[in-house]
Amino acid sequence: MNPEYQDLFSPLTLKNGVELKNRLVMAPMTNSSSNPDGTVTDAEVDYYARRSKGVSMVITATTYVIPSGKGFPNEFAADRDAMIPSLSKLAKAIQAQGAKAILQIFHAGKMSPTDLVPGGDVVSASDVPADREGAAKPRPLREEEVEEIIEAFGETTRRAIEAGYDGVEIHGANGYLIQQFFSPHSNLREDRFGGSLEKRMTFPLAIVDKVQSVVAEHADDSFIVGYRFSPEEPETPGITMEETLHLVDVLADKSLDYLHVSLFDFFSKPRRGVEDLEKTRIAHLLETIGERVPLIGVGSIYTAEDAKLAFNTGVPLLALGRELIIDPDWVQKIAEGRESEIITEINKEKQEELVVPDPLWKNIINTPGWFPGV
């Protein structure tokens, strides 16, 4: 191994005492490749297994906690106990390659397509539609329904424990329900779940508390709990960098094992809400978090040099998404001193060799600008 990349392969001990073998993680990415009944397919299992050998931890595509939270066609389910054998199959495939298996859990809220949820009943914090063509006007959740969803996050965590996962990641990013409650754009409520910044944090923090209480009851200390967030929203009003730093400051004291920022570009800078707009979002986050909890950074890290520059910012963990689809051996190539052989553009002729399921492959090939080489 080239010594300048050695730090990427140093172990990291999480707050709960679990040691990660290196600083590289597979990022969660929707693949829309499950069976219609919500069970994982063999193609999906093979896809994950192919990418689990080099990284220390694999965060799965997100899975919904109740039927009204389904966000994608052919998304695998974790909303009922009947799904535990399916979930277990995926966890074992990841772990067999030497990585920790983390199940990402969510509710899509107003991002759910009407044809995927029971009765077309799309719900959210308030009746503000998603900013996309043909989006349904969501029904504001009643207070007791909000409580039921909090419970559902706990139940899905229990299923993850019973299925043998090493942890769960609470998906509070990318415009889904947890973010919808935190956002002043989509949360216009006047009850205890809306209004001030503190009240808009009630739902996200209640989910963290519920998940942690279930872990305390059903798992041992080695079970990992992480939380993913998006730093800003483009809307006005919308989540600002300042509000996210406030949320992150609170989350950093919640005994989570890691925080995970969702970024398209690791080195992106804030839109607004902080004095220094020239300092990267990652730098602002690290400054706020300090040593309290590890942060996973992500976003367009294609080469070993990209990874080194990102890691040198002080971020403890790096997630790789598109990079591991383009080159499943990305991590091993650096470990073996073959970083010059890393492939950074998708080869449209090599779907089979790359072990990518058909639905995901079609999405990649038909979405210009998403992947280099398309």
Q: Which residue has the tokens 């002729």?
A: 349
Q: Left (φ > 0), alpha (ψ -120 to 50) or beta: where does 206 sit?
A: alpha
Angle between helices 143-162 and 202-218 (to 10 degrees): 30
For residue 137, the one-letter residue type is: K
User: C-alpha dihedral over 117, 143, 146, 131, to 10 degrees?
Assistant: 60
Nearest CA to 193 out of 106, 111, 126 is that of 126
pLDDT of residue 133: 86
Q: Which two tokens stand for residue 357?
A: 């399921």
What pLDDT is stored for residue 134 in this prediction? Answer: 83
- In 3-state terms, what secondary structure has residue 190? coil
**227 an active-site residue?**
no
DSSP classification of residue 167: E
DSSP for 256-300 reads -SEEEE--SSTT---SSSSS-SSS-HHHHHHHHHTTSS-EEEES-
Question: Contact 86/38 with Cβ under 8 angstroms?
Answer: yes
Could you tell me the pTM of the whole model?
0.98
Domains in the chain: boundaries: 3-365
Q: Kindly state the tokens that stand for 110.
A: 């107003």
Residue type present at position 180: Q
* Cα distance between residue 361 and residue 346, in whole Å: 10
Report the CATH fold assignment for 3-365: TIM Barrel (3.20.20)
- Of the residues 64, 165, 176, 258, only one is catalytic, namely 176
CA angle 82, 87, 92 (to 5 degrees): 140
Three-state DSSP state, 354: helix
Q: How far apart are CA 294 and CA 14, in angstroms?
A: 8
Q: What is the DSSP letter of 70?
A: -
Under DSSP, the state recorded for 223 is -
Say how many C-beta atoms besides its own lie within 10 A of residue 308's C-beta: 18
Residue by residue, pLDDT tens for the chain (374 residues) are 999 999 999 999 999 999 999 999 999 999 999 999 999 999 999 999 999 999 999 999 999 999 999 999 999 999 999 999 999 999 999 999 999 999 999 999 999 999 999 999 999 999 999 988 888 999 999 999 999 999 999 999 999 999 999 999 999 999 999 999 999 999 999 999 999 999 999 999 999 999 999 999 999 999 999 999 999 999 999 999 999 999 999 999 999 999 999 999 999 999 999 999 999 999 999 999 999 999 999 999 999 999 999 999 999 999 999 999 999 999 999 999 999 999 999 999 999 999 999 999 999 999 999 999 99
